[in-house]
Amino acid sequence: MNNQSKRVEYLDSIRGLASLFVLFSHTIGAFAWPDTIARICTLPFLIIFFDGKAAVAMFFVLSGFVLSRPYVSSEAPEKQRKIFLPTFYLRRITRIWFPWFFAFCLSILFQKFCFYRVSSTPPISQWLDQFWHAPLTASDFFRQCLFLLHDSSRQLLNQDWSLGIELKGSFLIPVFLVLLRGQRLPWFMGLAGLFCVFVHTGHYYVSFMLGVLIAQYGKSLSHFWINRKRTVPIGMFLLGLSLYQSYHYIVSFFGETDQALKIGWLGTALGCSLILLSALNSSRLQSLLNHKPVVFIGKISYSVYLLQFVVILCLLPPAMHLLNNCGITQFTLLFALSLIFSTGITIALATLSYQFIESPAINLGHFLSKRLQCRFDKSGR
């Protein structure tokens, strides 16, 4: 395991790849593709690139790990960094909400001036056709600002459900850490069980808990990895990739029942945990993830996640219509071009958003938290 004080770029790369997989999922979901293409995209292991839900599970596991990592130490309790809740929560709010609000305002402008339906081959899907038809009311505006609007036909950012979970899961991190620091692992596991049984969205928070567990016991787990033959780490990584696909196949087989959704999600979250552990303990995986283009995608991953619907709703259908007018109607070629277009435009917009919106929001969070910490330290003297 790397030194806990250092920022680990290859973890950002995993988040960046997950954001691209969400983008791919939404891009192919935007059109009614022939069954042949749809079946190819859901083949075992190929589905990894097009499963947006699994990618969101990876976001949650990574958040649990990264947010708790500075506050745990498997060497000695006295080396553990203390959590100052006001600054911890302040940094999370500025990190998530301010870039979100920019994307939200941009979506309002695009809905008003750049959103219209065009005919294309293939046509847009029923899933995409449900968005952005409802007028924005003052009530919906404020409810979306608090992530309290859960009607996808009225939301401007369809990703809001996950961002609300991200904030609430982040706020629970200190509770999870208190339980683990106090050597109350049975209580920790009991809380996870209560989430799954009694909270409708509780399985999402278990994803964060898995990340916290890896942060707390990562050093011990790394010894397990290092002291085994090479076939064991490879097998664990392949098992992680296999479990990563649990959500799609369990829900496809059993339907969208509450039990299937929760079991599938937990299987996927466990797969995400094994993939994360593999990355933490494999120099080869780290080397692949540390390539500059992948690291760059990781850096702008949040903006990629936020801005993709502006591109998919307002720019992708007209681009498909233009390709049709140029005589391009072959589905395989259109499929590839749609992915290239949405990915390229989204990355370009995300780069600008990161430089002028996201990065200043991060710096603002650090500045405000330092000022708040200094005031607290002075008042405590």
At 135-173, the pLDDT tens digits run 999 999 999 999 999 998 899 999 999 999 999 999 999
Rg of the chain (C-alpha set): 21
Q: How confident is the model at residue 378 (pLDDT cuts 50, 70, 90)?
A: confident
Q: Is the pLDDT of residue 1 over 50?
A: no
Task: Output the pTM of the full model.
Answer: 0.94
Per-residue model confidence as pLDDT tens digits over 214-246: 999 887 777 776 666 778 888 999 999 999 999
Is 340 within 8 Å of 323 (Cβ atoms)? no
Q: Is the pLDDT of residue 326 over 80?
A: yes
Element (H, E) at 321: helix 316-325
Q: How confident is the model at residue 4 (pLDDT cuts 50, 70, 90)?
A: very low
Spatial distance between the Cα atoms of 370 and 381, rounded to a whole number of angstroms = 17
- Within 10 angstroms of residue 28's Cβ, the number of other Cβ atoms is 20
Helix-strand-coil percent breakdown of the chain, rounded to 5? 75, 0, 25
Q: In this predicted structure, what is the pLDDT of residue 81?
A: 73
Q: Is the pLDDT of residue 7 over 80?
A: no
Q: In this predicted structure, what is the pLDDT of residue 184?
A: 82
Residue with the two structure tokens 């806990």: 4
Q: In this predicted structure, what is the pLDDT of residue 3?
A: 40
Residue with the two structure tokens 């707390």: 216
Per-residue model confidence as pLDDT tens digits over 43-75: 999 999 999 999 999 999 999 999 999 888 655
Rounded to 10 deg, the angle between the 160-181 and 202-226 helix axes is 60
Average pLDDT, the chain: 92
For the segment 368-378, the average pLDDT, to the nearest whole number, is: 87
Range from 94-108, 117-131, 176-190, 287-301 carrying the lowest mean pLDDT: 176-190
- Within 10 angstroms of residue 344's Cβ, the number of other Cβ atoms is 11
Q: In this predicted structure, what is the pLDDT of residue 153?
A: 87
Q: In this predicted structure, what is the pLDDT of residue 2?
A: 40
Is the model more confident about 321 or about 3? 321
